[in-house]
Amino acid sequence: MLIYVAQLNPKIGDLSHNTDKIISSIKKAKLEKADIIVFAEAAISGYPPEDLLLYDNFINKMENELNRIIEESKDLFIVIGTIRKNFNKNQKPLFNSVAVIYDKKLLGFKDKTLLPTYDVFEERRYFEPGKDQKVFEYKGKKIGVLVCEDAWAHVNDAYAKYDIDPVVELKKLKPDLMINIAASPYYYQKKDIRLNIFSEVAKTLNCQVIINNQVGANDQLVFDGHSMSFNNKGELVNLAKGFVEDHFLVDLEKPLSIYDYKKDPLSELYNALVLGVKDYFRKLNLSKACIGISGGVDSALVLCIAADALGPHNVLAINMPSRYSSLSSLEDAHKLCDNLRVELMDIPIDHLYQEYLNLLSPILAGKAFDTTEENLQARIRGMILMAISNKLGYIVLSTGNKSEMAMGYVTLYGDMCGGLGVLIDVSKTLVYELAKWVNGKKEIIPISIIEKEPSAELKANQKDRDVLPPYVIVDKVLQGYVEDHLSADEIVKKYNLEIETVKELIERIHQAEYKRRQGPPGIRVSKTAFTKGRYFPIVQGWIEQ
Amino acid sequence: MLIYVAQLNPKIGDLSHNTDKIISSIKKAKLEKADIIVFAEAAISGYPPEDLLLYDNFINKMENELNRIIEESKDLFIVIGTIRKNFNKNQKPLFNSVAVIYDKKLLGFKDKTLLPTYDVFEERRYFEPGKDQKVFEYKGKKIGVLVCEDAWAHVNDAYAKYDIDPVVELKKLKPDLMINIAASPYYYQKKDIRLNIFSEVAKTLNCQVIINNQVGANDQLVFDGHSMSFNNKGELVNLAKGFVEDHFLVDLEKPLSIYDYKKDPLSELYNALVLGVKDYFRKLNLSKACIGISGGVDSALVLCIAADALGPHNVLAINMPSRYSSLSSLEDAHKLCDNLRVELMDIPIDHLYQEYLNLLSPILAGKAFDTTEENLQARIRGMILMAISNKLGYIVLSTGNKSEMAMGYVTLYGDMCGGLGVLIDVSKTLVYELAKWVNGKKEIIPISIIEKEPSAELKANQKDRDVLPPYVIVDKVLQGYVEDHLSADEIVKKYNLEIETVKELIERIHQAEYKRRQGPPGIRVSKTAFTKGRYFPIVQGWIEQ
Q: What is the pLDDT of residues A421-448, one digit of tens each?
A: 999 999 999 999 999 999 998 999 999 9
ipTM of the complex: 0.95
Peptide bond preceding A48 in cis form (omega within 30 of 0): yes
| Average pLDDT in chain B | 96
How far is residue A61's CA from residue A15's CA, in Å, rounded to a whole number? 8
Say if the Cβ atoms of B487 and A122 lie within 8 Å.
no
Using a CB-CB cut-off of 8 Å, the residues of chain A touching B509 are: none
Taking alpha carbons only, the member of A521, A508, A511, A517 closest to residue A535 is A517
DSSP state of A454: P
User: Which residues of B belong to the active site?
Assistant: 41, 112, 148
CB within 8 Å of chain A, chain B residues 129-168: 161-163
| Min distance A509 CA to chain B CA atoms (Å) | 13
In order, the DSSP letters of A498-511 are -HHHHHHHHHHHHH
Least confident among A325-334, A387-396, B139-148: A325-334
Instruction: Report the pLDDT averaged over residues B363-368.
Output: 94
Distances (CA, A) of A403 to A306, A341, B504: 21, 29, 41
Helix ranges restricted to H, B130-232: 166-171, 190-205
Asked if B428 and B529 count as a contact pair (C-beta separation under 8 A), the reply is no
Question: Which amino acid, A391?
Answer: K
CB within 8 Å of chain B, chain A residues 495-524: 514, 517-521
Instruction: Report the pLDDT averaged over residues B305-325.
Output: 97
By the 10 Å C-beta count (0-12 exposed, 13-18 middle, 19+ buried), A183 is classed as buried
B156 pLDDT higher than 90? no
| H or E stretch covering B83 | strand B77-85
Residue A160's pLDDT is what?
80
Least confident among A189-193, A271-275, B127-131: A189-193
Asked if A381 and A415 count as a contact pair (C-beta separation under 8 A), the reply is yes
How far is residue A473's CA from residue A468's CA, in Å, rounded to a whole number? 9
Residue B285's pLDDT is what?
97
Residue B545's pLDDT is what?
60
Interface test with B, best of A539, A543, A544 (most B CBs within 10 A): A539
Residue A174's pLDDT is what?
98
Distances (CA, A) of A213 to A81, A116, A194, A228, B433: 11, 16, 11, 8, 51
Peptide bond preceding A175 in cis form (omega within 30 of 0): no
Instruction: Choose the closest CB to B54 out of A371, A372, A485.
Output: A485
| Banded pLDDT at B229 (limits 50, 70, 90) | very high
Active-site annotation holds for A337: no
Using a CB-CB cut-off of 8 Å, the residues of chain A touching B376 are: 383, 387
Alpha-carbon Rg for chain B, nearest whole angstrom, is 25
B160 pLDDT higher than 90? no
Using a CB-CB cut-off of 8 Å, the residues of chain A touching B415 are: none
Say if the Cβ atoms of A379 and B390 lie within 8 Å.
no
Tell me: the pLDDT tens digits for A462-477?
898 888 999 999 999 9
CB within 8 Å of chain A, chain B residues 170-199: none
Instruction: Report the pLDDT averaged over residues A33-53.
Output: 98
How far is residue A76's CA from residue A30's CA, in Å, rounded to a whole number? 8
What distance, in Å, lies between the first and last C-alpha atoms of chain A?
A: 61
Instruction: Report the pLDDT averaged over residues A126-135.
Output: 96
How far is residue B306's CA from residue A484's CA, in Å, rounded to a whole number? 40
Instruction: Choose the closest CB to A375 out of B386, B537, B542.
Output: B386
For B66-100, b where at least 16 C-beta lie within 10 A, e where not — what string?
beebbebbeebbbbbbbbbebeeeebbbbbbbbbb
How far is residue B140's CA from residue A363's CA, in Å, rounded to a whole number? 69
B343 touching A (Cβ < 8 Å)? no
Say if the Cβ atoms of A520 and B518 lie within 8 Å.
yes
Distances (CA, A) of B474 to B172, B301, B479: 49, 20, 9
Tell me: the pLDDT tens digits for B463-506?
988 889 999 999 999 999 999 999 999 999 999 999 999 999 99
Residue B423's pLDDT is what?
98
Chain A residue with the nearest C-alpha to that of B278: A539
Active-site annotation holds for A355: no
A545 pLDDT higher than 70? no
How far is residue B466's CA from residue B114's CA, in Å, rounded to a whole number? 48
Tell me: the pLDDT tens digits for A478-533?
999 999 999 999 999 999 999 999 999 999 999 999 999 999 999 999 999 998 99
| Average pLDDT in chain A | 96
Whole-model pTM? 0.97
Residue A255's pLDDT is what?
74
Question: Which amino acid, A262?
Answer: K
Using a CB-CB cut-off of 8 Å, the residues of chain B touching A214 are: none
Q: Taking the CB of residue A305, how many other CB atoms lie within 10 A of it? A: 29
By the 10 Å C-beta count (0-12 exposed, 13-18 middle, 19+ buried), B485 is classed as middle
Say if the Cβ atoms of A540 and B52 lie within 8 Å.
yes
Alpha-carbon Rg for chain A, nearest whole angstrom, is 25
Taking alpha carbons only, the member of B122, B103, B495 closest to residue A125 is B122
How far is residue B9's CA from residue B278's CA, in Å, rounded to a whole number? 12
What count of Cα atoms within 13 Å lies in the side-chain half-sphere of residue B519? Answer: 34
Instruction: Report the pLDDT averaged over residues A225-229.
Output: 97
Q: Is B420 helix (H, G, I), strand (E, B) or coil?
A: strand
Residue B50's pLDDT is what?
97
Instruction: Report the pLDDT averaged over residues B251-270.
Output: 90
B257 pLDDT higher than 90? no
How far is residue A309's CA from residue A303's CA, in Å, rounded to a whole number? 10
Question: What's the maximum distance between 2 C-alpha atoms anywhere in chain A?
Answer: 87
Strand partners, B177: B143, B208
Taking alpha carbons only, the member of B377, B444, B446, B388 closest to residue B415 is B377
A159 pLDDT higher than 80? no
Residue B456's pLDDT is what?
87
| Banded pLDDT at A543 (limits 50, 70, 90) | confident
Strand partners, A96: A83
Residue A254's pLDDT is what?
85
| Min distance B352 CA to chain A CA atoms (Å) | 7
Instruction: Choose the closest CB to A57 out of B50, B487, B536.
Output: B487
| Min distance B384 CA to chain A CA atoms (Å) | 8
Tell me: the pLDDT tens digits for B31-49?
999 999 999 999 999 999 9
A418 pLDDT higher than 70? yes
| Banded pLDDT at A350 (limits 50, 70, 90) | very high
How far is residue B97's CA from residue A294's CA, in Å, rounded to a whole number? 52
Residue A101's pLDDT is what?
98
Q: Is B110 helix (H, G, I), strand (E, B) or coil?
A: strand
A256 pLDDT higher than 80? no
Strand partners, B223: B185, B216
Phi, psi (rounded to 5 degrees) for A448:
-65, -30
Residue A157's pLDDT is what?
67
| Banded pLDDT at A216 (limits 50, 70, 90) | very high
Asked if B273 and B220 count as a contact pair (C-beta separation under 8 A), the reply is no
How far is residue A45's CA from residue A59's CA, in Å, rounded to a whole number? 9
